[in-house]
Amino acid sequence: MIAEYLPVALFDSPVWNSIVYLLGELVIIILVLWVILSFLIGCLIALSIKKKKMYLPKLLRPVLTLMEGTVKLFCMMLGVDSAQLMEFLIGIDNQMNYSAFAKVPVEKRAVFIPLCLRSAKCPARLSPDVGISCISCGKCPLGDAIPVLKDAGYMTFIIPGSTFIKRLVKKYRPQAMIGVGCLMEVKEGLALGRKISMTTIGVVTATDGCVETTMNYDSLMQAASIGLEKPLSMPKKE
Ligand code: SF4
């Protein structure tokens, strides 16, 4: 009989009321702090993008992993669109991975390039072990870029999708990778790199789509030159 009334008595007691009150206050304080911090981070990102300079990247990365949704909202209110934000996040990851990438010997690095960058008339064949085997037919700039990367020591793969990356990483076991792709692909590639503990540098293509996309090959060469004594460059055209 007493046990039957015990819970009601407990939930009606002043002690219980104080606990609920305290919990309510705590939740409100956390929410207010969350909103203030998100707003400040949003301002920092907007300022970094405007000034083309990264402020406090080491603080931004972990905070953004936790609060990406609300920060995104404030960024939009401050005039930063989602593409700019994504590009900024890729920039932070690249900056944070720079020194670890530089320490990996070039023979232990892989470059993953999406097949949409090749010519629509590409004669190369697709194999499950290496992706597209470029034969430098001259129909697209990959024919110039791939030999430069291979001569430097890079494992280089032209691939149709991220499932290929997982398979090739398992097979060839690189210690670091450069992922080329559109904003979304690079973002996912960097997340994959974090998941499998692989130092990753992202290079974003200039256009996206499925066929004959374009990229700044100098940016690729710049990324591939990290930690090398002699910078790589695309062959000069006569
Ligand atoms: S250069 Fe290589 S990737 Fe480009 S179209 Fe020719 S074979 Fe394909």
Give, for ligand 1, the residue of 118, 158, 217 to mutate: max count of ligand atoms closer than 8 Å to Cβ: 118
Confidence at residue 4, expressed as pLDDT on a 0 to 100 scale: 57
Looking at the DSSP bridge assignments, the partners of residue 179 are 112, 202
Confidence at residue 140, expressed as pLDDT on a 0 to 100 scale: 96
Strand 126-127 relative to strand 109-114, pairing: unpaired
- Model pTM above 0.85: no
By C-alpha distance, which of 181, 226, 228, 235 is closest to 208?
A: 181
Measured in angstroms, how far is the CA atom of residue 137 from the centroid of ligand 1?
5
Residue nearest to atom 5 of ligand 1 (CA): 122
Residue 34 token pair? 């969350």
Confidence at residue 135, expressed as pLDDT on a 0 to 100 scale: 96
Atom of ligand 1 nearest to the CA of 135: 7
Confidence at residue 154, expressed as pLDDT on a 0 to 100 scale: 98
Residue nearest to atom 2 of ligand 1 (CA): 134
Measured in angstroms, how far is the CA atom of residue 215 from the centroid of ligand 1?
15
Q: Phi and psi at residue 90, in whole multiples of 5°?
A: -65, -40
Atom of ligand 1 nearest to the CA of 121: 5
Measured in angstroms, how far is the CA atom of residue 198 from the centroid of ligand 1?
28
Atom of ligand 1 nearest to the CA of 132: 3
Confidence at residue 66, expressed as pLDDT on a 0 to 100 scale: 85
Looking at the DSSP bridge assignments, the partners of residue 180 are 203
Give, for ligand 1, the residue of 126, 134, 148, 214 to mutate: max count of ligand atoms closer than 8 Å to Cβ: 134
Q: Which residues line ligand 1 (CB under 6 A)?
A: 118-119, 122-124, 134-137, 139-140, 142-143
Tell me how many degrees the CA angle 170-153-158 measures, rounded to the nearest 5.
55
Mean pLDDT by 10 residues, the chain (238 residues): 59 84 95 93 90 83 84 91 88 92 97 95 93 95 97 96 89 96 92 91 91 94 96 87
Residue nearest to atom 1 of ligand 1 (CA): 143
Confidence at residue 2, expressed as pLDDT on a 0 to 100 scale: 52
Cβ atoms of 116 and 134 closer than 8 Å: no
Confidence at residue 12, expressed as pLDDT on a 0 to 100 scale: 74
Domain positions in the chain are: 2-80, 99-224
